[in-house]
Structure 1
Amino acid sequence: MNNFSSSMEAFLYWEKETPSKPFLIQNYESHQKSISYSDAGIEMRKLASYLLKLGLPNKSHIALLSKNCPHWIMADLAISIAGFISIPIYPTLTSEGINQILTHSESKAIIIGKLDDFASQKTGIPNIPIISVKAFGANTGIYWEDIMNQELELMDLYIPKSDDLRTIIYTSGTTGQPKGVMYTSGNFTKSSSTFTQIINLPKNPKFFSYLPLAHVAERAFCNGILFYGGQITFPHSLESFAENLEKLQPDIFFGVPRIWTKFQEKILESLPQRKLSILLSIPFVNKAIKKKIQTKLGLSKASFIASAAAPIASSLVKWYAAIGISIQQAYGMTEDCCISHTNLSGQSKIGTVGKALEGVKIKFSEEGEILILNNCLFKGYYKAPEITAEVFDKEGYFKTGDIGEYDHEGFLTITGRVKDQFKTDKGKYISPAPIELQILKNTDIEQICVVGTGIPQPIALVTVSSLGKSKSKDDLSKSLYQSILEINPSLQKHEKISKVVVMQEEWNVANGFSTPSLKIKRNSLERVFQPLYKSWFEADQNVIFKS
């Protein structure tokens, strides 16, 4: 990898050296469209030229509302070379959430890309200039395509300096209101170069981009791919996701626990566990079965496969290892630009988040909270100096809010969240995360949240997986209760789970129970369901189906 000072410098290098090489590939319903480095350069320069003609103040904030697509990457680069600052917005936010970010960030214009339901989001946009991509059906403002036909390319490009503010990323907010995390150009350069060096990317790597680019991890990965002159491919839809991924066979793949659970469900639907176990036990068949599954998932060529954003059950990682897929659990946050800890091939321990990356310093508070210092920590929360001051200690370490511990080999285990701890009416504190991970061994469960404020013993709120939904109510009850019987002997008396409550609907962004990065919003669940805890706890059944 060349030593680039920014993603913009990297792009300009590859645009010159490999102009006709594919850079961005968008899957559509019946075809693909490939955009070369040269063509991407033309489009971003024309967009930058138009943005400057809007006459906005220097360093203005330009919002970007879109699912992952080529236009997201090109718009982000265009905003940068025009000397502006990008404000990415999660594409699944409601109109209220969008308005909140646009207002707080003081965005002066917005670029609309690929969205599922822009009609319901449109009212959240105030009276500011709008650019929309006609190909994706957002019929508002001026079309991207018209700008490409009418504008000349910007020749005098602004190349960001290392300490220039590059973007403000609003956290998905598991608690409270989203906060604007400020990043410089140098933050991303250091983050991306650290990751790409440790995972030893091949020349011209292929990356499948589907996790929200509005999140720091996906954006850092795409920056890293750019440093290597690689190509980034985007899925058409949720329905075509598996087909698009299988066709690409990327060099690296990054997932969150729910993705790995979904993949497992699909495999077991066509190849039940008993049959799979038998096939894997046959020496000559074992290798062929593993290769077939890896290829079907799209992971036959991936040299680095990671899971992060939330804890993943050790049982799930071991299940994948049995079919020849090594998932390396990583740990990072929006505020530390994802540079913290990761497991690596040959240096991995299931159940941990790995060892500290180069340049990372860690210490623990008296309560066991992890405090981190690295060379790409965020510069503070936008317009929130008091909150910023609260999350740093006197030595400049960031307070992660996570509780953890090292083992004797230097592997870090996350044992919970400071704010997730709750106290039952027995006065005993409980950290739910380790308990939840144990219960998630049951493949009938999709999501889980262990709660217990105001009742003597904790209860487990769960949503059911597609495998669980295929079972009768009686069989599902037996399966869930069996999990509790298996886990309770290993728990302290005050931690033992008393009931399982099966929720009617899954927890997602639309109903406010999940963040766009698929983390459960515990506060939201508690606010809605805590009044029912007592009646659930006192019910005669061990497994309760919420009506």
Structure 2
Amino acid sequence: MTDDPRTVPELFLDRVGRTPAAEAFRYPAPDGAWRSLTWADTEARVRAIASGLRALGLEGEQVCAILSQTRIEWILADLGILCAGGATSTIYPSTTAEECAFILSDSGAVVAFAEDAAQVAKLASRRGELPALRHVVTFDGAPSPDGWVIGLEDLEARGRAWDAAHPGAFEETAAAVRPDALATLLYTSGTTGRPKGVELTHSCWVEQSRSVQQSGILDHPDVLQLFWLPLAHSFGKMIGTAQLRIGFPTAVDGRIERLVENLGRIRPTFVCAVPRIFEKVHAKVLTNARAGGPVKAGIFRWAIGVGLDASRLRRAGRPPGPVLAAQLAIADRLVFRKVRDLFGGRLQFFISGSAPLSKQIAELFDAMGVVILEGYGLTESSAATHCNLPRARKIGTVGPALPGVEVRIAEDGEILMRGPWIMRGYHGLPEQTAEALDADGWLHTGDVGFVDAEGFLAITDRKKDLIKTSGGKYIAPAELESRLKAVSQLVSQVLVHGDRRNYVTALVTLDPEALARWAGEHGRAGAPVAELALLPEVRAIVQRDLDRMNAALPRFATVKRFAIVPREFSETEGEVTPSQKLKRKVIERRFAAELDGLYRGELPAA
């Protein structure tokens, strides 16, 4: 044990030494039951994987890639790579064979962990382009006759034999890792262009984990996390190293279709999520309330009004009066408790990151007693630099800076950050590195925002996404997109358009579940989304919601026209990133005809 771990291997082994018998992870077994690993159990498997990689010839700072959905083996492989002195590069499981080949080639990966036969096939199809890739280790797939593909069990068996033949080598290798050595090479999913490899060192993760602990965000009893987000994203890596520092247990299951079931079964105290999840839950809650008939809908509206009043008072530091407190107790019993039960009944808070969260949605959840702590960060900043805290939170902001981070707002509104867990640069891209990191070490985030008098950071938009109409007015599309999704139960996704145009327009997609329920209530049960999207009645609903949103906007920012896209924007079609950010340029090119059609017979300039 050490009082001041300097690297991820030291952080991990320090945790093992402090609490060897404590629960580290839970994970679903093939039979559907949940299994548990103590920190000592975890160390044994990590030791086997690290030693197996040494047996395969892995050397210091050589890159190993992981191509898999979130699962316990992902975490064990990552820790094994780092304890063997290597560096981890991550690949989203939805990545195409061509994109996989680019990342593996660009990173110089010598070993790749691949989840199953389908992922192995992607790599095998490009094997001739990857001379540096010596082995593929598969979690569930089959070994290859030539030994290029080996199973994880085989790797661990080799590792145990290697460890027995080289006593002390595991500890020596872990201790030899330098704080400034490459730990993680994360390729930005990118809303435009080729992904860039972000180089993050061991000290990045260690310093950030210390800051998370100092922030006190997880200072509540019996901490238990349910983790399902992609571990290929920096958000997941960040919370993983915080776990090593603090020592709380984590239940791991990346199957999003099991999320609701797992919430009820695991009963976590906190969960990390992205705004898309809250948007879908929000839409489902509203749809269910309206589907229960006018009486149930009326009770729901009354309860939300009471909850919002109480929430505003709480956030202003004032307790509700006796009448409001009594009303809140009734609203909680009739409505809010049922919503909280969906999340297991023990949830202290969600942590939201990766994309902006609608203020209206955050307020509605808060009214129901479901706390969402919105945070902020970039891959280039090892994920989190800011986060609202249970004791210091402000809806509509991403919170104060974590201890150790400096923040400055440039003259044009761009957010600049400096601190010990900012990236060391983009892999093999010195010019792009110089553009992002200035001579004084400030990271130019590309986000626009401001810091209020109490030190809370608010993000208004991406600098490159700001729309400037032909009338010279600047508009933040993300804000309008969040507003429309918050007021509409039918709208699923929104892309606001209008750069150098005479007025603002939008492409919208519809929520299949909400639309199916509407169809069932209007004699069209079973009709496909593409057919329902063409109905005048559906368009009228979206127009009504749009009018509600526009009523609160200055005229130049209102959305004048819209088109309904008959399917949701998807990662499969290359229209959203794995973290569900819209790829604006891709969508605008793909739906150029629809967008151009919204400007035929131009309206007067706004």
Q: Is the 8 A contact 2:88 2:184 kept in 1?
A: yes
Output the amino acid matched with 2:353.
A
CA distance in 1, matches of 2:579, 2:126: 21
Retained in 1: the 8 A contact 2:235–2:353?
Answer: no
Identify the range of structure 1 (312-321 vs 418-427) with the bigger mean alpha-carbon deviation.
418-427
Asked whether the 8 Å contact 1:67–1:114 carries over to 2, the reply is: no
Give 1:481's aligned amino acid.
Q
Shift of the 327–475 alpha-carbon distance from structure 1 to 2, 3 Å rule, reads farther
Alpha-carbon offset, residue 119 of structure 1: 4.7
AA matched with 2:115: G
Q: Which runs of 5+ in 1 are unaligned?
A: 542-547
Measure, in 1, the Cα distance between the counterparts of 2:427 and 2:63. Answer: 12
Q: Which has the higher helix share?
A: 2
- Relative to 1, partners in 2 of residues 1:22 and 1:345: Cα closer, same or farther, differing over 3 Å? closer
Which residue does 1:286 correspond to in 2? Answer: 331
8 Å CA contact 1:91, 1:115 repeated in 2: no
The aligned counterpart of 1:411 is 456
Is 362-371 or 381-390 further displaced after alignment?
362-371
Residues 499-523 of structure 1, C-alpha deviations (whole Å, 9 max, x = no match): 1211122122211111111111112
Deviates more, 1:464-473 or 1:304-313: 464-473
Letter in 1 for 2:134: P
Partners of 1:56 and 1:148 lie apart in 2 by 14
Distance in 2, Cα, partners of 1:364 & 1:284? 43
1:505 to 553, 567, 571: 567
- How far apart in 1 are the matches of 2:427 and 2:561? 43
Identity %: 29
Q: Deviations for 1:85-124, whole angstroms, at most 9, x for unmatched residues?
A: 1111112211111111011111111011369866566535
User: Aligned partners of 2:544, 2:387: CA distance in 1, in Å?
Assistant: 33
Is 1:372 paired with 2:390? no
Displacement after TM superposition at 1:382 (Å):
0.4
Question: How many Å separate the matches in 2 of 1:475 and 1:314?
Answer: 28
Deviation string for 1:129-180 (max 9, x for gaps)? 344445x346651111123334426341222332121111111111221111
Q: Deviations over 1:338-397 (max 9, x none)?
A: 342222223222112222222222222221111111221110000001110011233221
* Partner SS, residue 378 of structure 2: coil
Q: Distance in 1 between matches of 2:108 and 2:269?
A: 39
The question of 1:249 aligning with 2:267 is answered: yes
1:276 is matched with which residue?
300
Alignment pair present for 1:129 and 2:134:
yes
Query: Which of 184, 198, 210 in structure 2 is aligned with 1:193?
Result: 210
- Read off the aligned partner of 1:129 and give its amino acid letter: R
Task: Supply the distance in 2 between the matched residues of 1:352 and 1:115 (Cα, whole angstroms).
Answer: 43
Q: After the TM superposition, which of the residue ranges 125-134 and 237-246 deviates more from structure 2?
A: 125-134
What's 1:545 paired with? none
1:66 corresponding residue in structure 2: 68
Partner of residue 426, structure 2: 381
Query: 1:471 offset after TM fit, Å?
Result: 2.6
Alpha-carbon RMSD: 2.7
Give how far 1:46 is off: 1.8
Contact 1:67 1:115 in 2 (8 A): no
- CA deviations over 1:389-429 (Å, ceiling 9, x no partner): 01123322111101112233332221111111234444544
Match among 142, 152, 156 for residue 150 of structure 2:
142
Kindly provide the CA deviation profile for residues 288-332 of structure 1, in whole angstroms up to 9, marking residues without a partner as x. 34333223223x333342211111111101110121011121111
TM-aligned CA distance change 1:494 to 1:138, over 3 Å: farther
More off after superposition, 488-497 vs 111-120:
111-120
TM-score (norm 1): 0.91
Aligned partner of 2:281 in structure 1 is 263
Q: Which residue of 2 aligns with 1:526?
A: 588
How far apart in 1 are the matches of 2:270 and 2:142?
32
Alignment of 1:464-479 (within 5 A): 464-465=510-511, 466-472=513-519, 473-479=535-541
Task: Report whether the alignment pairs 1:296 with 2:342.
Answer: yes
Cα distance in 2 for partners of 1:116, 1:239 equals 20
- Cα distance in 1 for residues equivalent to 2:253 and 2:117: 13
TM-score by length of 2: 0.82
- Name 2:47's counterpart in structure 1: 45
Residue type of the alignment partner of 1:512: G
Q: Which residue of 2 aligns with 1:544?
A: none
Q: Structure 1 pair 540/243, CA: closer, same or farther in 2 (3 Å)?
A: farther
Whole-Å separation in 1 of the counterparts to 2:283 and 2:507: 20
Distance 1:68 1:116, change over 3 A: farther
Contact kept, 8 Å, 2:588 with 2:595, in 1: the verdict is no
Query: Where in structure 2 are there 5+ consecutive unaligned residues?
Result: 291-296, 307-326, 520-534
Residue number among 391, 397, 406 corresponding to 1:346 in the alignment: 391
| Structure 1 residues 91-490: aligned runs within 5 Å | 91-113=93-115, 119=121, 123-124=125-126, 126=130, 128-134=133-139, 136-137=140-141, 141-152=149-160, 154=163, 155-157=168-170, 158-159=173-174, 160-198=177-215, 199-202=217-220, 205-235=223-253, 237-272=255-290, 273-278=297-302, 284-288=329-333, 289-298=335-344, 300-441=345-486, 442-453=488-499, 455-465=501-511, 466-472=513-519, 473-490=535-552
Contact 2:142 2:150 in 1 (8 A): no
Q: Is the 8 Å Cα contact of residues 132 and 138 (structure 1) preserved in structure 2?
A: no
Q: Structure 1 CA distance, aligned partners of 2:567 and 2:122?
A: 21
SS of residue matched to 2:441: coil
- Deviation, 1:270, is 4.3
How far off is 1:185 after superposition?
Answer: 0.6
- Residue 21 (structure 2) pairs with residue 9 (structure 1): no
What SS is found at the alignment partner of 2:212? helix
**What corresponds to 2:528 in structure 1?**
none
**Contact 1:68-1:114 within 8 A present in 2 as well:** no
Q: Please say which of residues 382-391 and 462-471 is displaced more in the overlay.
A: 462-471
